Amino acid sequence: MQDFAGAFGLAFGLIASGDPDLFEIVGLSMRVSLTALLLSCLIGFPIGALLVVRKFFGRGIVIALVNSMMGFPPVVIGLLVYLALSRAGPLGWLGLLYSPTAMIIAQTLLIAPIVAALSRQVLEALQAEYDEQFRSLGVSRGSAMLALIIDGRYGLVTVALAGFGRAVAEVGAVIIVGGNIEHLTRVMTTAIALETSKGDLGMALALGIILMSIAVSVNLGASALRAVAERQAYA
């Protein structure tokens, strides 16, 4: 067993030297999670806005459903995507299993409900303020949804960052549908799990440090944005 300080030394060495394997893994992680985030925002923001603007029958049940999907276990989502994409599954003919695309699909299914549920909460407060004025102006439902998303932009960025944090740190779903294949589907979390079990703590720790720094800088960025928004009274 390597000693603790030695592991840290190795980790910083890998980061400082710009180890190609390390940065390939980081790059794939970012690509998969950012793509999943983009898709989730495209799906989740309009759903959140729709749930706020339309008071349809059964809306309460839909909201409860979306909220409960926030807590969906990633491994179960991984399993479901695996079943759908496996050779015998309904989407098996696409041949996507064990590819970055499969990982993007799994992460999108994981965080789109989070983005939808949180953006509904953010936009609900805005809607309470705008609703009467919009109805007085005769703003159509579509325009109202768009206006809510635009005016709620700072709150929605925080929502997106929460989704990103969840996606990039998630291991269960991507390891099932991606398979942790070196140079193909190995991302930070799956690599950390593997290297730790192999005993290569240097690599694991290097990835862990990068993952943590990403999480911290994402949150700092969110706070900075919030400060800008508040200064302009747009928050």
Partner 1 sequence: MPDAAPIVSPGKSDKGPPTPRDRLLPGALRLDGLTLQVAGKTLVDIEKLLLEPRSVTVVMGPNGAGKSLFLRLVHGLIPPTSGWVSWGEVACGEATRSTQAMVFQKPVLLRRSVAANIDFVLRHRAGTRAERRSRCEELLARVGLAGQAEQPARLLSGGEQQRLALARALATRPKVLLLDEPTASLDPASVQMIEQIVLAASAEETKVIFVTHDVGQARRLADDVAFLHHGQLIEHRPAAEFFTSPASEAANAYLAGRIVL
CB burial string 128-161: b at 16+ within 10 A, e below: eebeeebeeeebeeeebbebbbeebebbbbbbbb
Beta carbon nearer to partner 1, 17 or 136: 136
* Position 141 contacts partner 1 (CB under 8 A): no
Cα→Cα distances 229→118, 126, 172, Å: 19, 15, 36
Cα→Cα distances 65→56, 72, 103, Å: 15, 11, 24
100-137 and 153-169 helices, crossing angle to 10°: 160
Rounded to a whole number of angstroms, the minimum distance from the CB of residue 138 to partner 1 is 5
Q: Interface mask (CB under 8 A) for partner 1, residues 148-167, using x and -? A: --xx----------------
For partner 1, which stretch binds (CB under 8 A), given 2-10, 77-85, 137-145, 180-188? 137-145
Beta carbon nearer to partner 1, 10 or 52: 52
Chain positions 94 to 133 lying near partner 1, rule: CB under 8 A, are 129-130, 132-133
* Position 80 contacts partner 1 (CB under 8 A): no
Instruction: Give the residues lining the site for partner 1 (CB under 8 A).
Output: 129-130, 132-133, 135-139, 143, 147, 150-151, 232-234
